Structure 1
């Protein structure tokens, strides 16, 4: 089945390049689509590099027919601008796997995909774009998907690759846990520093209070997460390399729009919806929004 699938990848950034590489290694190279034409993509890790042959198509008119499986790795701030791509790549028989942050991927993509089935995914590997446009992968790639019949197309595509796939019956809880990890990275943006800041005691205490606030909202939204989750997330961040970045920090440093709403604003929005106080979000969210959108 996997060999017969017609696979496309939209958004060859850090996450997209990683998925393209693991598919290319098992001779399932996807059709690559993005805003900028590239002759090839390069993924590097501690063991060497993988070169994914292009081209990266930069015009939706180049797509002649819909695909069986489309991995969407554009940021949520780029979804509306990707409407023409999604219309060309998808129809009602397509499965779309959203390699995006947040807990609202299905709602964000549904209007653009011509009736395709949209599957959310939780991406668990740190990958970052380097100055030479290559991507540096710092851990083994793995995905968590909801335990639904529709995911078998994704499982088949990734079978035999070095990207492990876990099917999770309680996907909502896993997605919210990842959201907490993404939300606390907003402090890196405001400080303009990488993961090393979490080794400071004052930032540790602020981050812990914020994560506890996020945890209360997640539980109100239906997630089943233990009291220990905030401490676990902070422990992971403190063990991380001090120079470990995050996509939202890279966007801020490049003066690009930030995914502040789906990473941080969502905590504030769901808190208001469920009657949960969010005093730290009420400070963080306006600052992140202003950093993204100005004016000034």
Structure 2
């Protein structure tokens, strides 16, 4: 199965599911980091405050934005065995490196028919999360918003918040839950192409980790050239995986980085600075792995991926 195809259980009983969840579904957010806090705040502002679960006990979350801030009341539950009631919709906002650790939450929160929307990077979300949520509709997503965790525990949202989901019936549950909030939801008939385009953008951001610099580094002509070459080899892999992406995509992505504020970071850079495990395999290794499977040469990936892996895992 291709990484962005969906098993039949993702759209089972669409009419019954939509009707059952249309009236104030019980929503849980697992992983109240930058992405989880943004979505939780969007729901809270609309009077749909979700239940919060994560690794660290907190009595509230705070989202800062240009217009002010939103405080989401807690608590953040930290023990799946205590007080975690099944939900209709689970927004799984942990990183790809934390899926196994989040499995007890999925076991506690999911029941047959629960929709699990995976708010994380990559094109292999359903394959990674599906085994931990049997009988549930597991939806991948593409997250399009610049949210950064701040040292004081708050999250800074630096632009509009938007999610893209595959256009399958279960996605209507997520769209309805977020309707009218600061986090818009769009459905894509060709989700494979959207997901791989974002994957290429995330892969290029790996150069920020290797250089130890934020978005301003793409203002260097040499880094821009390297990023273009890297993205062009990734584009070949994306097309082999079924993505319909034009030759202009690499240039568009690099131009996008060059247009960002010079101090704009990325989650994988923040993890490197903090000494946390990196999503190197989800964001970069997948291009190397899939390229090899298709017999596509990826010489830049052959260098970038081991360096990112070593930076994440050592030794040394």
Report the TM-score, using the length of structure 1 for normalisation: 0.99
* CA deviation string 1:73-121 (max 9, x = no partner): 0001001011111100112210000001000000000111132110011
Report how far residue 162 of structure 1 moved.
Answer: 1.6
Residue equivalent to 2:188: 168
Provide structure 2 residue ranges, at least 5 long, that are not aligned to the other structure: 1-20
Secondary structure (helix, strand or coil) at the match of 1:97 reads: strand
Matched, 1:131 2:151: yes
Residue equivalent to 2:251: 231
Runs of 4+ residues over 6 Å off in structure 1: none
Decide whether aligned partners of structure 1 residues 271 and 93 sit closer, same or farther in structure 2, where only a CA change above 3 A counts.
same
Residue equivalent to 2:31: 11
Report how far residue 274 of structure 1 moved.
Answer: 0.6
User: Which of 218, 224, 235 matches 1:215?
Assistant: 235
Residue equivalent to 1:252: 272
User: Which of 21, 26, 38 matches 2:58?
Assistant: 38
For 1:173-184, list aligned pairs within 5 A: 173-184=193-204
What is the number of residues matched between the two proteins?
A: 296
When the two chains are superposed, the root-mean-square deviation of aligned CA atoms in Å is 0.8
Distance 2:84 2:145 in 1: 32
Residue equivalent to 2:261: 241
Matched, 1:191 2:215: no
Residue equivalent to 2:10: none
Report how far residue 64 of structure 1 moved.
Answer: 4.6
Secondary structure (helix, strand or coil) at the match of 2:122 reads: coil
Distance 1:41 1:60 in 2: 19
Report how far residue 2 of structure 1 moved.
Answer: 4.5
Matched, 1:157 2:157: no
Residue equivalent to 1:48: 68
For 1:74-89, list aligned pairs within 5 A: 74-89=94-109
Residue equivalent to 1:114: 134
User: Which of 148, 152, 157 matches 2:168?
Assistant: 148
For 1:262-277, list aligned pairs within 5 A: 262-277=282-297
Do 2:95 and 2:279's aligned partners in 1 also have CA atoms closer than 8 Å? yes
Provide structure 1 residue ranges, at least 5 long, that are not aligned to the other structure: none
Report the TM-score, using the length of structure 2 for normalisation: 0.92
